[in-house]
Amino acid sequence: MEKTNAKVYFSIHGEEFPIERISNGLQLQSTHEHVKGEEIRRKPNSNVTYTKTTHWKDTAWEIGTEYEETHDLDEQINQVIKQLEGKEEIINQICKTYNLECYFMLVIKINEGNTPAISINKDFIRMANNIGAEIHFDLYANPYKSEFDE
């Protein structure tokens, strides 16, 4: 059985904007980006049947971690924050110029009922506040067999 894992990413998103300006302005390479209207490409999943094609409803530039086994998201949060430190003014200017918004996303896949610790430290709060970012949580609690099921 797969262990509980999580990833953290930062997203700048809006209607339409030149994605390369974000990478150039922040001097960072995105870990994911998409353009409004592009087809959403999904990884094959034997448990899911897709019956129609869907398209992105916005344009986004993201930087973050990959899924990692974890019992505490603090390390992944800090990995993302460190890449953005000192770039708050640039982020604010980009968002103002192109009428964009930003958020941090914490994605957690819970397996076997093992929930990780989630703490929002002062550096994370300060960064989110300085750039006007929201903090979102995306939780996937997969079914598991409990000792009571036996």
- Supply the range of the domain harboring residue 124: 5-41+52-145
pLDDT bin (cut points 50, 70, 90) of residue 46 is low
Q: What is the pTM of this model?
A: 0.87
Residue 150 within a domain? no
Kind of pairing, strands 5-14 and 59-64?
antiparallel
Instruction: Kindly report, residue by residue over 107-125, the tens digit of the pLDDT.
Output: 999 888 888 888 899 999 9
- Ranges of beta strands (E only) in 17-146 are 32-34, 59-64, 68-69, 101-110, 134-141
83 has pLDDT over 90:
yes
Q: In the structure, what pLDDT confidence band is assigned to residue 70 with cuts at 50, 70 and 90?
A: confident
Whether 32 is covered by a domain: the verdict is yes
Residue 62 vs residues 19, 31, 83: alpha-carbon distances, Å: 10, 6, 12
Residue 46: inside a domain: no
107 found inside a domain: yes
Percent of the chain with pLDDT over 90: 64
Token pair belonging to 100: 């964009």
Residue 17's pLDDT is what?
Answer: 93
* 47-68 per-position pLDDT tens digit: 667 778 888 999 999 999 999 9
Q: Sign of dihedral through CA atoms 52, 104, 9, 29?
A: positive
Indicate whether 47 belongs to any domain. no
pLDDT 10s digits, 7-32:
999 999 999 899 999 999 999 999 99
Q: Who contacts 65 (Cβ-Cβ below 8 Å, separation ≥6)? A: 7, 8, 9, 31, 76, 79, 80
**Domains of the chain: total:** 1
